[in-house]
């Protein structure tokens, strides 16, 4: 996904997804780079992205809640006093459906964001995402003392730009 978000898959999708904690909120003292500025996003593009985020917010909230509820129900069934395997199988399907619905929302959000960017901005974004993935892999390697591995689809990517990253007005 266009990874303004949390992972290669999550990232881009979340670029339009409701805002999570920013890098500065997660790591005090570190300022998140302004991707809009780095990509040269125009005021018109900023407004289109704001509109996408606003329109997607309720769907994301609903899909995330559905996934949380399905996961809790599955966990409760697995660890209940009475083992009911057919119920667990049904709850697995419900959880998988909820996860697939959320994944689809994220993918479609990323696709819609991609449609707003110019080919030059997409190329620049790929370059930024690649640098970020390399830095994150190195950070994980040094933090965990493990050999470096290639980033996987679910490795964390920069969070999506959000309203706080956008200047007031049409600047």
Q: Give how many domains the chain has, as a whole number.
A: 1
Residue 3 inside a domain? The answer is no
Residue whose C-alpha is closest to residue 57's, from 96, 17, 84: 17
> Do residues 170 and 43 make contact, with C-beta atoms less than 8 angstroms apart?
yes
CA angle (124, 105, 49) in 5-degree steps = 45
Which residues form the domain of 81? 8-165
Q: Is the pLDDT score of 136 beyond 70?
A: yes
Q: Is the pLDDT score of 18 beyond 90?
A: no
Average pLDDT for 20-30: 48
Q: What is the mean pLDDT of the chain?
A: 78
**pTM beyond 0.95, yes or no:** no
Residue 1 inside a domain? The answer is no
Residue 66 inside a domain? The answer is yes
Rounded distance between C-alpha atoms, residue 110 and residue 13, angstroms: 4
Residue 135 inside a domain? The answer is yes
Residue 33 inside a domain? The answer is yes
Residue 81 inside a domain? The answer is yes
Residue whose C-alpha is closest to residue 53's, from 8, 112, 107, 104: 112
């Amino acid at each position: 996904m266009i990874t303004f978000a949390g992972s290669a898959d999550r990232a881009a999708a979340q670029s339009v997804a409701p805002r999570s904690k920013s890098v500065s909120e997660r790591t005090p003292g570190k300022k998140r780079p302004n991707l809009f500025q780095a990509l040269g996003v125009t005021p018109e593009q900023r407004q289109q992205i704001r509109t996408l985020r606003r329109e997607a917010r309720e769907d994301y909230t609903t899909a995330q809640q559905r996934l949380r509820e399905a996961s809790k129900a599955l966990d409760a069934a697995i660890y209940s006093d009475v083992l009911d395997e057919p119920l667990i199988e049904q709850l697995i399907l419900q959880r998988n459906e909820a996860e697939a619905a959320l994944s689809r929302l994220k993918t479609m959000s990323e696709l819609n964001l991609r449609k707003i960017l110019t080919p030059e901005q997409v190329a620049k974004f790929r370059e930024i995402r690649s640098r970020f993935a390399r830095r994150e892999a190195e950070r994980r390697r040094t933090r965990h003392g493990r050999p470096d591995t290639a980033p996987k689809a679910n490795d964390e990517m920069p969070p999506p730009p959000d309203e706080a990253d956008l200047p007031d007005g049409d600047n």
